[in-house]
Amino acid sequence: MVQGTASHVGKSVLVTALCRIFRQDGYRVAPFKAQNMSNNSFVTPTGGELGRAQAVQAEACGVEPQVEMNPILLKPEADHTSQVVLLGKPAAKASARYFATAKPMLWQSVASSLDTLRSQYDVVVIEGAGSPAEINLKQNEIVNMRVALHSGAPVLLTGDIDRGGVFASLLGTMEILEPQERDAVGAYIINKFRGDVSLLEPGLVWLEERTGKPVLGVVPYYRDIEIAEEDSVSLEERQQLKSQTGYALDIAVMGLPHISNFDDFDPLKREPGVRLRYVESRDSLGEPDLIVLPGTKTTMADLSWLRERGFAAEIKRQADAGTPIIGICGGYQMMGRRIFDPDGVESPDPEAEGLDLLPVDTVFAPVKETHRVRGVVSSGSGLLARAESAAVEGYEIHMGSSTPTGEAVRPFRISRPGQPAADDGAISADGKTLGTYVHGLFNSYALRRALLEQLAGWKGVKLPPPSDTGGQLSRDGEYDKLAETVRHSLNMELLYCLTGLEPPEIE
Catalytic residue among 8, 371, 398, 439: 439
Amino acid at residue number 217: G
Beta-carbon count within 10 A of 366 CB:
11
Cα 53 from Cα 229, distance rounded (Å): 6
Cα 86 from Cα 110, distance rounded (Å): 10
Active site residue 8: no
293 CB-contact burial (10 Å; exposed 0-12 / middle 13-18 / buried 19+):
buried
Strands of 38-122, DSSP E: 41-43, 49-51, 72-76, 82-86, 89-94
On whether the CB atoms of residues 325 and 289 are closer than 8 A, the answer is no
Catalytic residue among 61, 329, 371, 398: 329
Which backbone phi and psi does 201 adopt, to 5 degrees? -55, -45
For 221, the 3-state DSSP assignment is: coil
On whether the CB atoms of residues 68 and 31 are closer than 8 A, the answer is no
356: left (phi over 0), alpha (psi -120 to 50) or beta: left
DSSP letter assigned to residue 122: S
Q: What is the CA radius of gyration of the chain?
A: 23
- CA-CA-CA-CA torsion for 262, 268, 274, 276, nearest 10 degrees? 0
481 CB-contact burial (10 Å; exposed 0-12 / middle 13-18 / buried 19+):
middle
Helices 311-320 and 299-308 meet at what angle, rounded to 10?
A: 80
Distance of CA 373 to CAs 3, 132, 267, 338, Å?
34, 38, 18, 26
On whether the CB atoms of residues 231 and 199 are closer than 8 A, the answer is no
Amino acid at residue number 403: T
Active site residue 329: yes
Cα 67 from Cα 88, distance rounded (Å): 5
Residue 415 pairs in a beta bridge with 374
Cα 57 from Cα 301, distance rounded (Å): 32
On whether the CB atoms of residues 351 and 300 are closer than 8 A, the answer is no
Cα 366 from Cα 343, distance rounded (Å): 7
Residues noted as catalytic: 329, 439
